[in-house]
């Protein structure tokens, strides 16, 4: 039995094209009539928040917290994360994924499996990473994507990240599948950009799924629509 006032940590499998904001709103709407919101005879409105945004074109684990569990959000955001997905080698897009069309193409004939493996291994450890301009990073009181959408130039400073594992699970050029385990603040889209540069070519992200946050696994998550249906049947 859920108790959203005391607090719950909900594991949600965010669907493709949904924003994290849409997913959280779906959860909020689903729980607002739940009996646990009546506390000492008074209906409460518990806080609801999520621990780590996923891009709309990404799927997978989104941790949603309610009530007093929202106090754990910063702690949860600091946990390591695991992703799987695919890169396309030989082309770039302005946002480093499929949200925008390809803007440049590059040769890939010179790239060997050994080159790809060596490049992936070079990412392991602490490093400086520049987030994408199409991101929610704050710059002078505005989100970076606001500058990008307005066609304005903006400089994003590099920040320290950590890549703990970078496994190439399938190489079928120009598509490369991967599994990455990383620390807080890592942009997989930026890894796509940097991998392309390292290969003297270009690359962008074509699929991304977050499979784990700390010990929380997407295998134990449910979709927001499924969660809403579950609440309706309670």
Q: Which residues are catalytic?
A: 55
Rg (CA), the chain: 20
User: Three-class SS string for the chain?
Assistant: CCCCCCCCEEEEEECCCCCHHHHHHHHHHHHCCCHHHEECCEECCCCEEECCCCCCCCEEEEEEEEHHHHHHHHHHHCCCEEEEEEEEECEECCCCCCCCCCCEECCCCCCCHHHHHHHHHHCCEEEEECCCCCCCCEECCEEHHHHHHCCCCCCCCCEEEEEEEEEEEEEECCEEEEEEEECCCCCHHHHHHHHHHHCCCCEEEEEEEEEEECCEEHHHCECHHHHHHHHHCC
CA distance 56 to 119: 28
Residue 188: closest CA among 108, 52, 102, 82: 82
Angle of CA points 92, 20, 36, to nearest 5°: 165
Q: Which residue has the tokens 């040769």?
A: 107
């Amino acid at each position: 039995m859920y108790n959203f006032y005391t607090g719950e940590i909900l594991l949600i499998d965010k669907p493709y094209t949904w924003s994290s904001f849409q997913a959280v709103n779906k959860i909020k709407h689903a729980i607002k009539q739940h009996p646990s919101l009546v506390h000492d005879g008074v209906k409460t409105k518990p806080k609801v928040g999520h621990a780590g945004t996923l891009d709309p074109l990404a799927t997978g684990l989104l941790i949603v917290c309610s009530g007093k569990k929202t106090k754990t959000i910063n702690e949860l955001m600091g946990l390591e994360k695991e992703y799987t997905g695919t890169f396309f080698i030989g082309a770039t897009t302005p946002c480093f994924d499929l949200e925008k069309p390809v803007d440049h193409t590059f040769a890939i004939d010179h790239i060997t499996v050994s080159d790809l493996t060596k490049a992936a291994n070079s990412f392991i450890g602490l490093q400086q990473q520049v987030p994408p301009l199409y991101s929610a990073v704050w710059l002078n009181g505005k989100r970076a994507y606001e500058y990008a959408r307005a066609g304005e130039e903006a400089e994003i400073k590099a920040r320290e990240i950590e890549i703990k594992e970078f496994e190439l699970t399938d190489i079928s050029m120009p598509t490369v599948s991967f599994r990455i385990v990383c620390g807080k603040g890592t942009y997989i889209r930026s890894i796509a950009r940097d991998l392309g540069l390292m290969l003297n070519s270009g690359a962008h992200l074509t699929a991304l799924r977050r499979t784990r946050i700390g010990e929380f696994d997407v295998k134990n998550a449910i979709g927001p629509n499924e969660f809403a249906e579950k609440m309706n049947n309670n």
